[in-house]
Amino acid sequence: MQAPVNHIIGFANIVRERLLPVKGDTLVRLNQRVSSGDIVAEARFAREHVLLDVSRILRVHPKTAERLITCKMGDRLSAGAEIAVGQGLFPRSVAVPRDGIVAAIGGGQVLVEVGEAKIEMRAGIPGTVVEIIPDRGVAIQTTGALIQGAWGNGRIDAGLLVNLAESPDGVLTAARLDVSMRGAVILGGMVKDAETLKAAAELPVRGLILSSIYPSLLPTAREMRYPIMAIEGFGALPMNSAAYKLLSTNVKREVTVNAEAYDRYAGSRPEVIIALPTSSEAPTLKATETFAPGLQVRMRRPPAMGMIGSITAVKPGLTSLPSGLRAPAAEVKLENGETVVAPLVNLEVVG
């Protein structure tokens, strides 16, 4: 049976795509070295669309209106520019109300894009551009540590890592934050109140890496302009030992927090990337593994949720579970020395 892999690994070859949501221009070249803050692609798009009904304004048939329209697709027009003039002694005219670009013409109507905005896509991680994706962005390769989580608020940023979690089950409060942490990425425990998230925004910080977050705080967390990532999920959950050890031993290094949404079908997960210089060959990440003795796994369901262990045996066939169900299962020796039998569906490989 194939197992999902939750990457918590100290050294790996990491390739990540940085894509614009709309068509745009790539600003870097192949094999170029970039830092996390470099802009690698940008796009311009219209915030609004204005529909000008030339046929109705001039009081003519749509086919007649199309003959009177003087602009063309793609024309960039200034506010007040006439796009059609009627006939007669006192002809009516149609003008563009705001600066814009003609997006479509048809049926006696003109659609104008107005309110242009610019999107800048930053590299997010330091590394090398290994692929140019036409009109959309780039793929960047780096080597270093990778820690994936369960939930993110959709933001990305980078900064020096500061540890405020003395233990995996600590609690981060607003009182722990001070001005010395401005511009840092904070490794905290669980967060139980909105005041902590708001206090971090006021500094501001460049990211929060949490063990867990209370579900009632999710609307507030999504409004924050800095990335927030929960490694374990929701509620009062301690951080698993593998992630805590890896993060707490990389304090004062620059880390990237990409708190993108978890999507099991697209293969995307919120993650922390710590780029590390190396001269040796880094292993390639695997999306799935086959359950087998010796694999390090993480428990995904209570009562041992979040705990790390090692598979000692994969049970043949179906195993009867305390719930009365029968399912493929494995014996797992947990880090506290206890051995449990767990359904394979409740395990994910850590590596």
The CATH-assigned architecture of domain 44-117 is Beta Barrel (2.40)
pLDDT tens-digit profile of 308-328?
999 999 999 999 888 888 999
Per-residue pLDDT band for 33 (boundaries 50, 70, 90) equals very high
pLDDT tens-digit profile of 149-178?
999 999 999 999 999 999 999 999 999 999
pLDDT tens-digit profile of 173-231?
999 999 999 999 999 999 999 999 999 999 999 999 999 999 999 999 999 999 999 99
Please give the structure tokens belonging to residue 337.
Answer: 């020395």
Q: What are phi and psi of 168, to 5 degrees?
A: -60, -20
Per-residue pLDDT band for 45 (boundaries 50, 70, 90) equals confident
Per-residue pLDDT band for 276 (boundaries 50, 70, 90) equals confident
Does residue 66 register a pLDDT over 70? yes
Q: Does domain 291-350 have CATH number 3.30.930.10?
A: no
Bigger pLDDT: 3 or 302? 302
CATH class of the domain at 2-14+142-275: alpha beta
Give mean pLDDT, residues 144-153. 94
Spans of all domains in the chain: 2-14+142-275, 44-117, 291-350
Q: What is the mean pLDDT of the chain?
A: 91
pLDDT tens-digit profile of 112-143?
988 878 889 999 899 999 999 999 999 999 99
What Cα–Cα distance (Å) separates residue 145 from each residue in 45, 65, 142? 36, 63, 10
User: Which stretches within 117-205 are classed as H helix?
Assistant: 194-202
Half-sphere exposure of 97 (CA within 13 A, CB side): 12
For tokens 């997960």, what's the residue?
Answer: 269
Per-residue pLDDT band for 288 (boundaries 50, 70, 90) equals confident
pLDDT tens-digit profile of 296-311?
998 888 888 888 999 9
